[in-house]
Structure 1
Amino acid sequence: MTEDEIRAGREAIVAEHGPWGSANIALPYGLFTIDNQPRGDNHRTLKFLQIVSDMLDRPLHSLRVIDLACGEGLYAIEFARHGAQVLGIEGRAANFAKADFARAALELDNLRFVQDDVRAFSAERYGQFDVVLCSGILYHLDQPACFHFLKAIRAVSTALCIIDTRIAMQPEIAVAFEGRTYWGSIYREHADTDSPETRLANLGASLDNPTSFWFTRLSLANLLTDLGFTSVFDCLAPVPLNTRADRVTLVARPGRGQRPFNAVAARLDGLRWPDGEQE
């Protein structure tokens, strides 16, 4: 695209879908989707890049990456600019249009955006990925959808999954899934009387479910290990700019379970974090 084409395209996107909200992306010719200042989710771009680089110790261009509920495409575009093969899935048409415009402006042939509901996401539909980015979506899903979503993530993950999400600060309700109990709280996304159009237009909420289920930090860690991630890390650095107590970045890795020769240590295999009434 020429500079004039990018300017005109950006204006057309804003006219139809409104301004960019959280993805401040540097475009060619010194242009930006918002402006030249770090805004929205830019701080997580650095965080996710560093996590992937440190944990996998592989060139970014060698990776296959999926960004789930990718919004306006910020992280997907960043990994694609580093040469990775990237797929971004986004449910809202406005976000999809903004993401795909930025992709075209940057001429990223190794990046593809698909408009789809992540609740329909599966390995059968999309294949497997070295890196799964799950940022800002888990806490917008209700149960049991959130459980099946994480189960699908495990099925597609071959090396690394990053889950950046808000969490319940107290274990208020218990939910059973596949014979295990997990704790969290209910969060109101929409009024029951909101129309489908109103819900879709509320970009900071779920696509349609009126409530969502927020896991406690310990129950989320338990679920990830129950699903087959053999290591789960709580990432404290790089530190995001808008640190909040009810948001975490968990890094999960699938692997082969190890069993120690020490019979005493081996008795600890399968131990879970106590949560809720187990405490």
Structure 2
Amino acid sequence: MESHPWFVSSRRVLETVFPGDKRHLRLADLGCLEGGFAVEFARMGFQVLGIDVRDTNIKACDYVKLRTSLPNLTFVKDNVLNIAEYGMFDAIFCCGLLYHLDQPKAFLETVSSVTTKLLILQTHFSTDTVYSRLPFPLWIRKVLGKAAKNQDGKFALSSMSINEGLPGRWFTEFKDDKSFSRREELNWSSWDNRRAFWIQREYLLQLIQDIGFDCVFEQFDSLGSNIAESMLQGYYQAETRGTFIGIRTHTKL
């Protein structure tokens, strides 16, 4: 995990915002899966709490913890919506989670209430552009065919809508009761809700500012050495997924 682009990118921000000794700093990894990122943050020196709702993931996390010498690493099985029950954090790492929620705004408001300094948000987003008008690779257009007219990127998203007062598109997580009943084994899916809302990119940036982070930006170095190509026709364009940073320049007490 130490060479994963998302971790390397996050480490750059963490080292910039929190230079020096980090043993007094708390970091929460929300939806931590098997705990890979959490381990690396603990190795940086942070007091790390990894939280995940699935039994299988927490068992994997516990296995990892037993085989590392990291007393500053803790895992808990819980819904991330309950993060406020675990106190205040200097930094929140939220990767691959926000786009699984049907009320992402309310969730980020909760996250902000327990974050004193830094939010690292790695997530899919939606755009106001119809997929078929984007210069995506030909093979994707061939696969999607006519369905591409109703899609943003390569994902089957709804037409533009408003949720929690924000523009975005809906994504169906579970198509029926059978798939919903299997959500424990479907790691890359939501938990409580059957569809999720992907906030439009511009309004996601605005939301981060509105909930209290006065320094807001999108971080692109995780895309690799060719940022332009990735944004024009590569990963960023096809996946509509990016890293969004919120920093409080005046630490919340």
TM-score normalized by structure 2?
0.77
Q: Equivalents in 2 of 1:156, 1:190: separation in Å?
A: 30
1:243 aligns with 2:235: yes
Q: Which structure is larger by alpha-carbon Rg, 1 or 2?
A: 1
Asked if structure 2 preserves the Cα contact closer than 8 Å seen for 1:154 and 1:228, the reply is: yes
Q: 2:172 & 2:179 partners in 1: Cα distance?
A: 15
Identity %: 32
Is 1:59 paired with 2:21? yes
**Separation in structure 2 between the aligned mates of residue 65 and residue 195 of structure 1, nearest angstrom:** 33
Q: Matched residues in 1 for 2:60 and 2:224: separation? A: 24
Structure 1: which 4+ aligned runs deviate by more than 6 Å? none
User: Secondary structure of the equivalent of 1:150?
Assistant: helix
2:6 is matched with 44
> 1:149 maps to which residue?
107
Question: Cα RMSD over matched residues?
Answer: 2.2
Indicate if the aligned counterparts of 1:56 and 1:159 stay in contact, CA closer than 8 A: no
Q: Which amino acid aligns with 2:65?
A: R
CA change 1:91–1:244 in 2 (3 A) is same
* Cα distance in 2 between the residues matched to 1:198 and 1:191: 12
Unaligned runs of 5+ in 1: 1-23, 26-37, 258-279
Q: Which amino acid aligns with 1:219?
A: Y
SS in 2 for 1:106: coil
Q: Pick 1 or 2: higher relative contact order, CA cutoff 8 A, min separation 6.
A: 2
Aligned mates of 1:105, 1:126 — CA distance in 2: 25
Match of 2:117 among 153, 156, 159: 159
Q: Which residue of 2 aligns with 1:265?
A: none
Give the C-alpha shift of residue 201 in structure 1: 1.5
Structure 2: 5+ residue stretches without partners: 130-159, 226-233
Tell me the residue number matched to 1:5. none
Q: Is the Cα–Cα contact under 8 Å of residues 174 and 180 in structure 2 kept in the other structure?
A: no
Secondary structure of the corresponding residue to residue 121 of structure 1: helix
Match of 1:107 in 2: 69
TM-score (norm 1): 0.70
| Structure 2 counterpart of 1:68, one-letter code | L
Spell out the pairing of 1:101-140 with structure 2 (5 A cutoff).
101-122=63-84, 125-140=85-100
Question: Is 1:190 paired with 2:152?
Answer: no
| Contact 2:124 2:241 survives alignment (8 Å) | yes
For the residues of structure 2 that align with 1:107 and 1:58, how far apart are their CA atoms?
21
Change (3 A) 1:256 1:62: closer
How many angstroms does 1:244 deviate by? 2.4
